[in-house]
Structure formats: structure tokens, C-alpha cells
Structure 1
Amino acid sequence: MKHLLLPFIALSSLSFGQITLTDQHFAGPDETYIFSTLTDPTIDYATTGANHTWDFSTMVPQSQRNLITRPTTQLAGTSIFLFGSFAPAPYKATYFNETTDLPLDQASSFLPIPIDELNAFTRRAADGVTSIGYELVSGGQGLGFRSDTIETRYALPMTYGNSYESRGYTNLDLNPIYDAIWRQHRHRVSNVDGWGTVKTPYGQFDALRIHHVIDELDSIYFTFQGFGMWIPIPVPLTHEYEWRSTSDKESVMKIRTNEIGGNETVTAVEYRDNFNGLGLTESALKVAFYPNPAVNELHVSTEEKAENFVIVDQAGRIWKRISGTSKDQVIDVSDLASGSYSLVVLFSTGYTSRKFMK
């Protein structure tokens, strides 16, 4: 049985000392992670050190988001050759996922075309986790771009006291969609500045604390009435305070701040959690399935092709995740224990949830 969320592993009150993170402790393809998010400008992001306890267990979530790591078998168009199995080794992606790494809101004010989706490509290897490029989707047409300089998000193996520095550079030429160029420069300085126990509403984890400082400079070149110009896109200096554990393949806790004039302002707080649909958009798309109760299979029909099907129990723990392939899909539930579950159907525009018995 594939159990993607393992909160009870983290509930032990025992401390097992310092941990070491390897590539096996980071996300792979075809996985789903749920994060609860909130806004708390008073949260303590500064305190850290050796054998420290960070207690964020009283946080109250305001919304949720999901991270779906899509395998390269789902690539289409030029991205297959840029990041698929035929790509050079440094650019063979482990997975890709929708991201907000590029400042789309600011860029959209300069570009006369809508950017519907931005995907980031990740490579996971024994020596590190790297960002290797992007894919922009506009009007259903995708354009892939390799990073000329590959940024290392995590240098591995990782333990307390480690530090590393990395730069990333990506040139996104939007032709033939539009005569414009988007350039991204990133400089990352990361320090593993703490180890100990972090407590969240999701559980208690032995963790490393990593402090990333990310200095990004973006600019766009486009033509207007026959004249070309470069327009800088302001991106504030960003700090990410991240707690990672060997019992979970994504951050169990993350705090993001923007630094302006030497002062940091908290802009985002999130932690790994069970699914509860809080803040996610409920879709009006029709979903039908049979039989209920189910024995070995669920036959599911959807109004539009779903992105993913997720089966969660009454506590919100994820027991299965299946990629959507068509409007009519058969889901194997033979390995589920008897009980009450919810089938959560994730569309690009929201989700629909239906209860069933096994």
C-alpha cells in the first residue's frame, strides 16, 4: 500500500540527534504533497542553533495548496527534447511542477499576451537538487527553456554546519509567441544553521533548519511601436527559512520573508499537512463513480480530464494518488483497508470530493 503522508512517523517525542539529508529525502516524480498556509507577521524565523526546539504547533491554517510532481513521461512538444530522456545528463529532469518562481504578475503588465502556466524543471541527483529550466504556457502553446547556468537548490549530502552558494541564469526568448525576452538572474546563499526538533500542527520532526538568501534580478525586453527596450522587474531580496526531515520528502515547515532596507517582512508561512480543502476552490465540474461500496475498483467519469485523483481517509491522510489520463478512469482500490474514504478529484480549476466506502 502506497501511503504518501506519514504523520505518525513524526509523532514520537524522542529526539534522535542530528540528521543527514541525501537525495533519497527529496521529492521524486508522480507524487502529491499538501501544504497548509497562513499569514503571521510575528512568527519567529530568527531563532535557531544546535539541538534546538522550534514550536509552531499552535499555528492556525488559513488555506491549503498542493504540489504535484509530474513525471517527464507527461512532457509534450519541445520540452521532451530539452528535459526528457534524450536531454544531456545535467538537463534530464526528475520531475516538473507548476511554480510561481518567476514574477508573472509584474511581467504580465508589460506583455500583451497571457501567460497561463509556468512549469519548473527539477533534477535530483546524489550531489544535489538543481533547477534546470522552465516551461511557459500561453494559449495552450508551451515553450521550454533550459537554464544556461544551473542553480543548486540543495547541495547534498547535507548536515548541520554546511553552507553553499549557487547562481542561476535563464534566458527565456518568447518568440514565436511574442517578440520578447525574459531574463532571470538568481544568486543563492544557503546555510544549514540549526538542527533539532520542529513541531507543527501536522506533527513533530527531527529536522535540519536551512536559511536561504536569494537575490534575484529579472528583466524583460520587448518592442513597442518599433522601439525595443529593456524593463527591469523589481524582485525584493528574499529569505527562506526551511525545516527538512528524513521522514518527509518535502519541507515540513517554511517561512518566507522579503527584505527591504535591511528589514525583513514575513510574506508566507506554510507547513506540510493533511488534506482538508481549506481555501482551495471547489469545482463545479461533474464527477460520477461506481460502485459504492467498492471492492477492487472504482470506475470514475469526469466532465473534463482530471489532473489527479487522490484518495484520503477520514483524518485527511493520503493513501493513493493517480494521474488523470482520460474522462473515464478505473482506479484500483484493492489494497485499501475497509473503511470510509474520500475521492478527491483535482482539476486545473479546483477540486471535487466524493465519499465512498471500501
Structure 2
Amino acid sequence: MRKIYFQLFSLVLTAVSVAQSPITLTSANFPGSGDTLRYTNAQVSSVGNYTQTGANYTWNYTGLVYNSQGRRDFKAAIQTPYAFFFFGASEYGEKIADTIQAGPLTITNYYNYYKKQTSPINAYIADGIGMTFSSVPVPSYFSDKDELYTFPLTYGDYDSTTFKFSTPTTTALPFRYIKTGYRVTIVDGWGSITTPYGTATCIRLLTTQYSKDTIKYNAFSFGFPNYQRSYQWLTATDKIPYLEVTGALTGANFTPNTVRYRDTYQNPAGVHENTDISAMEMYPNPGKDKLWLNFTRKGQFLVEVLGLDGKLIKGGNFDSANIGQSIDITELSPALYVIKVTEKQKAYYYKFIKE
């Protein structure tokens, strides 16, 4: 919670263009109880240069390749499994995972709890964590809140805040989880960003969590550094990042493992993917050079590659009696495609990704 630096760069950033100016965000621009926000996970390799930034900058990420979709649901605390503990009217929770494997331990029903506060620091905070161990609920508050965003938030802000979390110490449970550290956040750019979702005015934020996590189980205790970095493009209307690139930080080396952008529900090519694989299997998916086909029953098949607009790209006839059959996909651009398999009068649809 202790705020070490703030708006460090404000005096040196006065030469911003007078024709345009960066947006300023408040708590109203971030998620609240009842919000349901959808996003698309993109292939990490498709993001390109995510470190580039500056004042009045234009970011273009139209080349992001669809991988999957997800949804963030922010529920009133009373609607979550840990309502008996987090019952404040201003608190709300988000389910992060059904199951987390932490060494020899299995943690289930993992929730983060958030709150918008104005004192002692005007911030959007991680207020607590709820988890279940061996069927026993283990909710707890941060003893030193984790300020995820401090307000007002605008270009040039530079903050460092501390945090500390620990599950209760009790003889009823042989398990304890402790998380302590600090977060450094800098708003290092502003301008406009374009993704497959659209174009928006934004600020660019870089936040790094330096944490030591400790797990105690019976007589055993092990701790490990948990350094995480996130590049975020924030807008005034989308509540979650318009684009976010996250990953682990080891020394000075950052390795992104997740790229996701704000989106609406997508049904590629307007078709329902066939989940009955009795007609055909294909691999590898994602693929680069060849898409190998394995027909799982006898017959003649027409196999076609379609773009997301439904346009035919290529196709051919295949006989299940032949082995080692494939489609050459080397000339395809990296993207999501649809495979249409026609057997007599019946059509099947499958999705695949060209890397």
C-alpha cells in the first residue's frame, strides 16, 4: 500500500503536442460489480513489437492471430463462494482458476477480490484472495493492499507500491500461502491503438510485480521469486486492457506467454465447429507447412480450406483408402482458417491455425 513514487515524470513531459493530449483515467473507467467483459487470446508470435511506445503514438496490431476467446466476470462478493468472508457492498470477485497446482498441493476455486477505494490512496486494488484447500475454504484479505492502478492515471505517472498477503495461520490447516513484494508502474505512452477489435484512443502502461511467494505445508516450506510483467493499452470505455501482453521476468529477460485483446463474441466464418471427429482428424494444429489428414471411416471426401469470410482458398478430393494424405498450407498467411469436409450430402467444419 505504501506509495513510494508518483508522477515522477510530470515536470519533464510538458512538451506534449498541443493539438492532442493524453486521456486521464479514474476508477469509473475500470471494472465494477456485474461487469462481463469478453476478450480474445491471440497467438503470442503474432503480436510483433510490443515494447514500442511514445507520446501521440500510433500502435497497429491488426495482424494479431485469433487463438481462443475468454470472458471476465466480476461478481458481487455475495454471489461468490466466499461471501461469508467478503461481504462488503463495495467488494467484488473474479474467478481466476478452477484448479491450481502448487508443487504437491492442489488449490481449487481460486478467486481474486477487488475494490475501488479513495483512501488512503485513490486506487483500484486487489483486496483479497479466496481459495479452497482439501475442501476447506481459505479466504483472506491483503494486509497491505495491492494497488493495481492509482488515480488519476495518465501519461507520465510513475508509481511503486508494496503489497502483502497471507492465508490464516491455524492448526486446522497444514497449509499456508504468503505473498509479499512491490509493484512498479509507469505510463510510458499515449495515442491510438488498432487491433482486430477496432481503433481507440489509449494510454500505454507498463507494470511489473516483484514478489516472493512462499508455500508452507506441514513441516516443509519453500519460497520462490515471482516476477511478472504486463504491457497494457488502456482506454476510457473498455474497462479491461484493449490489448495486454503478459509474461514472466527473469533478470532482465521478459518472456511473454499471454497476448489478449478486448473483443466481442466471435464465431469464425459463422459456422459451428464440428465436435464429432468420426469423419476426420487433422494435425498439427497450429501448423506451418502441411496439414495431415486422417479419415476415420471409409469413403470419398471433399476437403476445402476457407477464409473467415467463407471464401474458398483451396480444396481437393480425398479417398480414405490412401494413407499419408495432407494439404499444403505453406502459402497461407498466419491466421485462423476453416476446413470444410463434405461427405456425400453432409458437411463438417473444423478450425485450424496457420502459424
Task: Classify the TM-score, shorter chain.
Answer: 0.5 to 0.7
Q: Is the CA contact 1:170–1:184 (under 8 Å) kept in the aligned structure 2?
A: yes
Task: Give the stretch that moved more between structures: 170-179 or 19-28.
Answer: 170-179
Distance apart, 1:181 and its partner CA = 0.9
CA distance in 2, matches of 1:54, 1:161: 18
**Residues 177/200 of structure 1: CA separation in 2 closer, same or farther (3 Å cut):** farther
1:289-316 CA-partner distances (Å, limit 9, x unpaired):
xxxxxxxxxxxxxxxxxxxxxxxxxxxx
1:282/1:124 Cα in 2 relative to 1: closer, same or farther (>3 Å)? farther
Aligned: 1:84 with 2:87: yes
Provide closer, same or farther for how the CA distance between residues 214 and 134 of structure 1 changes in structure 2, counting only shifts above 3 A: same
> How much does 1:144 deviate?
1.1
Residue pairs, 1:97-246, within 5 angstroms: 97-99=94-96, 104-105=100-101, 107=102, 109-111=103-105, 114-126=106-118, 127-138=122-133, 141-173=136-168, 175=170, 178-223=173-218, 228-235=219-226, 237-246=227-236
List aligned pairs for 1:307-318, cutoff 5 A.
none
1:276 aligns to 2:274 (yes or no): no
CA distance in 1, matches of 2:107, 2:220: 20
SS at match of 1:219: strand
The aligned residue for residue 75 of structure 2 is: 70
Q: C-alpha root-mean-square deviation of aligned residues, in Å?
A: 2.8
Q: Aligned partners of 1:59 and 1:177: how far apart in 2?
A: 49
Q: Residues of 1 paired with 2:274 and 2:195: CA distance?
A: 26
Distance 1:282 1:243, change over 3 A: farther
Rg: which structure is higher?
2
Unaligned runs of 5+ in 1: 1-14, 86-91, 284-358
* Count of aligned pairs between the two proteins: 250
* Structure 2 counterpart of 1:267, one-letter code: N
1:215-273 Cα offsets, whole Å, 9 max, x none, are 121111112xxxx12112453x2210001101211111101132224222221100001
SS in 2 for 1:24: helix
Give the letter aligned to residue 208 of structure 2.
V
Q: Does 1:255 align with 2:245?
A: yes
Distance in 2 separating the partners of 1:250 and 1:145: 25
- Contact 1:255 / 1:268 at 8 angstroms: preserved in 2? yes
Change (3 A) 1:160 1:183: same
C-alpha distance 282-26 of structure 1, shift in aligned 2 (>3 A): farther
1:94-138 CA distances to partner (integer Å, 9 max, x unpaired)?
3100126x9933x1x222xx3221001100134110111100024
Change beyond 3 A, Cα 1:282–1:220: farther
Q: Is the 8 A contact 2:99 2:109 kept in 1?
A: no
Preserved CA contact (<8 Å) 1:75 1:84: no
Relative contact order (C-alpha < 8 Å, sep 6+): which is higher? 1
Paired position in structure 2 for 1:298: none
Q: Is the 8 A contact 2:59 2:193 kept in 1?
A: yes
Q: Percent identity?
A: 22
Q: Quote the offset at 1:71 in angstroms.
A: 0.7
Q: Secondary structure at the match of 1:173?
A: coil
What SS does the corresponding residue of 1:83 show, helix, strand or coil?
coil
With 132-141 and 31-40 compared, the bigger mean Cα shift is at 132-141
Work out whether 1:33 is the aligned partner of 2:41.
no
Change in CA separation of 1:176 and 1:39 when aligned onto 2, cut-off 3 Å: farther
Matched letter for residue 20 of structure 1: T
Equivalents in 1 of 2:246, 2:81: separation in Å?
Answer: 33
Matched letter for residue 230 of structure 1: S
Q: What is the alpha-carbon distance in structure 2 between the residues aligned to residue 277 and residue 133 of structure 1?
A: 35
